[in-house]
């Protein structure tokens, strides 16, 4: 099997008629996806030779954020709904673990049940209210609700308030628990792969086709008889629950939860990941998460030996450079890094 980055005549024609090329050559985007997953799967092995536990930690963080980004992409990329408040659900998942553990409950299934139950319910209520609006108002309302959750978390003095809560323990699943870094990493990785796979099925399912068509032409979908509100709400709830799962993993990774997990800046970073990687593609958010978090990591610890103390300046004020990078992404990125590989249209 050879991998070619140039489309031949047959592939061009096939692309024009929208049919996937089945020609015995792997498409570039599938190759990229395969490489990405292989690399992520190999991280703990690589870590034994170079990078050590730090590599596993940062890779865990990337995988967990990638999971949340895939969740957001469902409503943002495929649904066309700009939600600026998805960090709320990450925080909720983390707090579920923190609060439950605080009360002596470390059963992983209980953590999941509480988190998904509360998260699903909250998403249903907040989504139902937010989706009554559209466009600018929708974005601002999701931002406001996330802020509301942040402020509520700060007032939870019994659970650490603004300083956050140390989590003494991990989610237990029978004989094993998530306290082992490698176990946690592989659980997160498997979940990421599973959610990616399910998303790829979802977007071409009956539900997914209606959701995507609503993004493109809601007027026509309503005129066909679809109650579009329901589809958007269900997509919103599903995406929220994916973020809740990411939050559960996050709490197990850091053994800590604080209101900062729900801050709107985190929601903003999620959006950047999705746009940077490629909206309305399954793999795009993962690429975006990898790239963005690596950039943040590198900028804040930059050590390239640049002249005139530039290194120190950049690493001390890396947020300013990140900010400019995000502005550039917004102005320049059309389809995102992975999205450019995919070409036009929503695809895997």
Binding positions for another protein, 168-197, rule CB under 8 A: none
268 part of the interface to another protein, by CB under 8 A: yes
Give, for 75, the enclosing helix (H) or strand (E): helix 52-76
Which residues inside 26-65 make contact with another protein, applying CB under 8 A?
A: none
Which residues inside 83-112 make contact with another protein, applying CB under 8 A?
A: 84
Cβ-based nearer residue to another protein, 120 or 268: 268
Applying CB under 8 A, which of residues 47, 65, 271, 282 lies at the interface with another protein? 271
Applying CB under 8 A, which of residues 224, 306, 310, 312 lies at the interface with another protein? 224
291 part of the interface to another protein, by CB under 8 A: no
Applying CB under 8 A, which of residues 37, 173, 256, 264 lies at the interface with another protein? 264
By 3-state DSSP, what share of the chain in percent is helix, strand and coil, each rounded to 5? 75, 5, 25
Torsion-angle region of residue 134: left (phi > 0), alpha (psi -120 to 50) or beta?
beta
Rounded CA separation 138/1 (Å): 47
CB 47, min distance to another protein, A: 31
6 part of the interface to another protein, by CB under 8 A: no
Closest CA to 45 of 31, 59, 33, 32: 59
Within 10 A of 306 (CB to CB), how many other CB atoms are there? 12
CB under 8 A, 24+ apart: contacts of 32-36: 32/283, 32/287, 32/338, 32/341, 33/283, 33/348, 36/283, 36/286, 36/287, 36/290
Contact region with another protein (CB under 8 A), list: 40-48, 55-63, 128-136, 183-191: 128-136
Residue 53 CB partners (closer than 8 Å, separation 6+): 47, 181
Binding-residue total with another protein (CB under 8 A): 75
Contact region with another protein (CB under 8 A), list: 40-48, 56-64, 65-73, 227-235: 227-235
CB 142, min distance to another protein, A: 10
CB 299, min distance to another protein, A: 11
136 part of the interface to another protein, by CB under 8 A: yes
Applying CB under 8 A, which of residues 193, 226, 260, 298 lies at the interface with another protein? 226
DSSP letter assigned to residue 21: P
CB 305, min distance to another protein, A: 22
How is residue 43 written in tokens? 């991280």
Say whether 347 sits in a helix, a strand or coil: strand
Applying CB under 8 A, which of residues 219, 304, 307, 309 lies at the interface with another protein? 219
331 part of the interface to another protein, by CB under 8 A: yes
Cβ-based nearer residue to another protein, 23 or 327: 327
Rounded CA separation 248/250 (Å): 5
CB 171, min distance to another protein, A: 26
Cβ-based nearer residue to another protein, 6 or 157: 157
Cβ-based nearer residue to another protein, 129 or 168: 129
227 part of the interface to another protein, by CB under 8 A: yes
Residue 123 CB partners (closer than 8 Å, separation 6+): 89, 236, 237, 240, 241
327 part of the interface to another protein, by CB under 8 A: yes
Give, for 137, the enclosing helix (H) or strand (E): helix 135-154
């Amino acid at each position: 099997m050879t991998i070619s980055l140039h489309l031949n005549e047959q592939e061009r024609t096939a692309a024009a008629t929208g049919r996937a090329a089945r020609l015995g050559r792997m498409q570039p985007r599938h190759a990229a996806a395969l490489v990405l997953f292989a690399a992520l799967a190999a991280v703990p092995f690589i870590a034994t030779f170079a990078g050590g536990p730090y590599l596993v930690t940062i890779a865990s963080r990337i995988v967990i954020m990638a999971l949340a980004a895939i969740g957001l992409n469902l409503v943002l990329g495929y649904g066309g709904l700009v939600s600026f408040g998805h960090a709320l659900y990450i925080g909720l998942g983390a707090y579920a673990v923190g609060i439950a553990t605080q009360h002596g409950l470390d059963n992983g299934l209980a953590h999941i049940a509480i988190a998904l139950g509360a998260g699903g319910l909250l998403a249903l209520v907040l989504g139902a209210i937010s989706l009554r609006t559209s466009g600018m108002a929708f974005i601002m309302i999701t931002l406001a609700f996330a802020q509301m959750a942040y402020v509520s978390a700060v007032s939870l003095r019994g659970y650490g308030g603004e300083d956050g809560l140390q989590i003494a323990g991990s989610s237990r699943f029978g004989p094993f628990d998530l306290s082992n870094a490698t176990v946690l990493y592989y659980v997160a990785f498997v979940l990421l792969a599973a959610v990616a796979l399910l998303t790829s099925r979802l977007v071409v399912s009956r539900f997914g086709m209606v959701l995507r068509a609503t993004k493109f032409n809601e007027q026509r979908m309503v005129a066909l008889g679809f109650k579009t509100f329901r589809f958007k709400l269900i997509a919103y709830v599903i995406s929220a629950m994916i973020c809740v799962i990411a939050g559960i993993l996050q709490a197990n990774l850091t053994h800590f939860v604080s209101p900062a997990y729900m801050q709107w800046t985190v929601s903003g970073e999620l959006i950047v990941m999705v746009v940077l990687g490629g909206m309305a593609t399954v793999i795009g958010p993962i690429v975006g998460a990898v790239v963005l978090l690596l950039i943040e990591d590198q900028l804040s610890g930059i050590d390239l030996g640049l002249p005139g103390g530039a290194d120190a300046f950049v690493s001390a004020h890396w947020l300013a450079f990140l900010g400019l990078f995000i502005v550039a992404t917004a102005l320049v990125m059309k389809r995102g890094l992975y999205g450019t590989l995919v070409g036009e249209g929503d695809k895997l």
